[in-house]
Chain A
Amino acid sequence: MTQVMRAQEKQIGVKKKTMKLKKYMPLILMTLPGILYLIINNYLPMFGIVIAFKDVNFSKGILGSEWIGFKNFEYLFKTSDAFIITRNTILYNTAFIMINLIVAVGIAILLNEIRNRFLSRFYQSIILLPHLISMVIVSYLAFALLSAETGLMNKTILPMLGLNEISWYTESQYWPIILTVINVWKSAGFLCVVYLAAIIGIDQEYYEAATLDGASKWKQIWLITIPLIMPVITMMTLLAIGRIFYSDFGLFYQVPLNAGALNSTTNVIDTYVYRGLMQLGDIGMSSAAGVYQSIVGFVLVLMSNYVVRKINSDNALF
């Protein structure tokens, strides 16, 4: 008796399941193109990291190539490149994170103080402009300034200051500063918009109370504005730290015009992987560097998210 009932229940269950499937079929169909794209564009390459453990031979195909274990990684870490690209990537990103933060928060506070709403919005639009331009155009702007024979620096600014011309595209020591300036120029506006939105969201009553108590503007900024936007600052900064192993390929490849003489200060993991793959045809090394970046990057994202969650779970990604 109970067996029959169970069988019936099971049948009903199966029916319910097929009914459910039928009901949700259109929704499932909707998701298919997107899922297919993510599989091709994201998941297949994830499995593709096995390439780094193989001696890729195109005549045998990628899957048929021989396994060589960690050999590619051994070669990579024996070279001085591994150290240079790791150092450059981390140092540049650390500088970018700190300078962008200070500049963006500073401008956001200033913009918020400006009474004239129209002008404030106007300034905001202008400082966001560099964010809209491709790195290729940025590299033209940099070239107009830095070109050895026709650049504004060499032809106008340096002579005005009584200094000698500098061959910018062959002397690597200037590039840490150049790249940092360009990075701030291009991305501080974006961060500033984020921080300004957070500042505008602060309840005006805090400031009214502080003004009644006679607190100066300076004090209000330090004791009200900054503490209240701290969650946003922490979140944006930790997100950036999670991506500290990745860099803006365009900035490090296009802007220095891929000049070999500048490699010691402009080569980062992304440019190393690109050059290895496209220019040197060294798939082993470049895929090993890519996997190194993916794995360390993944760990850093998890760690920074863990820290964000500890501080304020609302801001955590997961």
Chain B
Amino acid sequence: MNAENRMIQSVGHITMIIISGACLIPFLLLVVSSLTSEQSILSNGYSFFPQEWSFSAYEYLGKASEEILRAYGITIFITLAGTATSLAITSLLAYPMSRRDFPIKNQLAFFVFFTLLFNGGLVPTYLIYTQYFDMKNTIWALIIPGLLMNGFNVLLMRTFFMTSIPLPVIESANIDGAGEFRTFFSIVIPLSMPIIATIGLFQTIAYWNDWFNGLVYLTDPQLFSIQNILNRILTDIQFLSSGMADSRASGSAQQLPSTSVRMAIAVVGAIPILIAYPFFQKYFIKGITIGAVKG
């Protein structure tokens, strides 16, 4: 028995170390590539063991980074503004739905739920946001379409309110003369920090990582988030290597960030989440389980 157990333990650890390695190694390649000299990449390709290390990619970014800095600013702004607004409207909609005495709670639940089952797709959404709301090339396009609120989060929050906030607490607040808004902000919200933190975390990641809205609604590089900049640089490489391979030596190729700078920008785009991850991973894992079980 003991021998069997010990074998299971070692096989388990070895397998998990291999799998973890497979998850981490691509990131390592990205970081090492950004620290490799241009010459080494051009002659040996991206590699874990560069012939020559170099910080020049980051030095270049430090100097010529106005574009990157602005994109960073935009990403931070949409992440903060988007997450805050999202939490506000999600909880404001979820709370009345959670109240057993609210007369139209079932109709509202259906109204929210139906959006999870059926959607109009990209074409009508795009036309509505661009033709009727004029969001093309505005910062709102990065915040509002698709991301601001989703029915799933509303239902998750409703379930939390229903199960974790005792009705007597709300009733006694009402009897004491607190209005609904006051009850909501001073009693319900402080009691709901776990779910607010979870959904806030998911929204933060969604906004930080979003490139789709920028791809669809933006043509003006001034408004690009960091993800959109990354996206543009990568598609331009493809454009060069497929269509203009023979004119590689000409000027247009040189205006692009060099091969290591590209990787450095990708590192810069991914690093905030990677650094923050150890601190929020517990909540993130908990959030996934809540979503899967209660959804």
Considering only residues 89-114 of chain A, those with a C-beta below 8 Å from chain B are 107, 110-111, 113-114
A244 is an interface residue with CB less than 8 A from chain B: no
The complex places the Cα of A162 from the Cα of B141 at a distance, in Å, of 50
**Which of A127, A293, A297 meets B19, CB within 8 Å?**
A127
Report if A128-B281 is in contact (Cβ < 8 Å); known contacts: A38-B112, A49-B121, A141-B27: yes
Residues of A within 8 A of B144 (CB): 41
Q: Is the CB of B238 within 8 A of A133?
A: no
A33 is an interface residue with CB less than 8 A from chain B: yes
Which of B30, B48, B99 has the most chain A CB atoms closer than 10 A to its own CB? B30
Residues of A within 8 A of B113 (CB): 317-318
**Which of B19, B29, B96, B277 meets A30, CB within 8 Å?**
B96
Report if A143-B111 is in contact (Cβ < 8 Å); known contacts: A150-B41, A277-B123, A290-B122: no
Q: Is the CB of A134 within 8 A of B227?
A: yes
Q: Is the CB of B4 within 8 A of A216?
A: yes
Residues of B within 8 A of A132 (CB): 205, 209, 273-274, 277, 284
Q: A232: nearest residue on chain B (CB-CB)?
A: B292
Q: Is the CB of B227 within 8 A of A136?
A: yes
The complex places the Cα of A150 from the Cα of B29 at a distance, in Å, of 12
Q: Is the CB of B92 within 8 A of A34?
A: yes
Residues of B within 8 A of A302 (CB): 117
The complex places the Cα of A147 from the Cα of B117 at a distance, in Å, of 39
Q: Is the CB of A46 within 8 A of B46?
A: no
The complex places the Cα of A308 from the Cα of B208 at a distance, in Å, of 35
Considering only residues 148-186 of chain B, those with a C-beta below 8 Å from chain A are 148-149, 151, 154, 179-181, 184
**Which of B41, B45, B210 meets A156, CB within 8 Å?**
B45
Task: Scan B114-129; emit 1 where CB is below 8 A from any A CB, else 0.
Answer: 0111111111111110
Q: Is the CB of B121 within 8 A of A291?
A: yes
**Which of A111, A189, A216, A259 meets B242, CB within 8 Å?**
A259
Task: Tell which of A6-14, A80-88, A171-179, A249-257 binds the partner.
Answer: A249-257
The complex places the Cα of A52 from the Cα of B122 at a distance, in Å, of 12
Q: Is the CB of A217 within 8 A of B30?
A: no
B249 is an interface residue with CB less than 8 A from chain A: no
**Which of A140, A154, A270 meets B234, CB within 8 Å?**
A140
Q: Is the CB of B234 within 8 A of A139?
A: yes
Task: Scan B82-113; emit 1 where CB is below 8 A from any A CB, else 0.
Answer: 00000011101101110100111000100111
Total contacting residues, chain A, CB less than 8 A: 99
Q: Is the CB of A48 within 8 A of B13?
A: no
Q: Is the CB of A41 within 8 A of B125?
A: yes
Considering only residues 280-313 of chain A, those with a C-beta below 8 Å from chain B are 283, 286-287, 290-291, 293-294, 297-298, 301-302
B263 is an interface residue with CB less than 8 A from chain A: yes
Q: B97: nearest residue on chain A (CB-CB)?
A: A31
The complex places the Cα of A107 from the Cα of B127 at a distance, in Å, of 44
Q: Is the CB of B29 within 8 A of A217?
A: no
Cβ-closest 3 pairs across A and B: A48-B124, A155-B45, A45-B120
Which of B's residues lie within 8 Å of A, judged by CB?
4-5, 8-9, 12-13, 15-16, 19-20, 22-24, 26-27, 29-30, 33, 41-42, 44-48, 88-90, 92-93, 95-97, 99, 102-104, 108, 111-113, 115-128, 131, 133, 144-146, 148-149, 151, 154, 179-181, 184, 205, 208-212, 216, 227, 230-231, 234-235, 237-238, 241-242, 259, 262-263, 266, 269-270, 273-274, 277-278, 281, 284-285, 288-289, 292-293
Contacts A45-B128, A155-B44, A250-B211 supplied; 19 other A-B pairs, CB < 8 Å: A27-B96, A27-B180, A35-B93, A37-B148, A38-B151, A52-B123, A110-B15, A114-B13, A114-B16, A125-B285, A134-B227, A136-B227, A136-B230, A137-B266, A140-B263, A143-B237, A236-B292, A286-B123, A290-B121
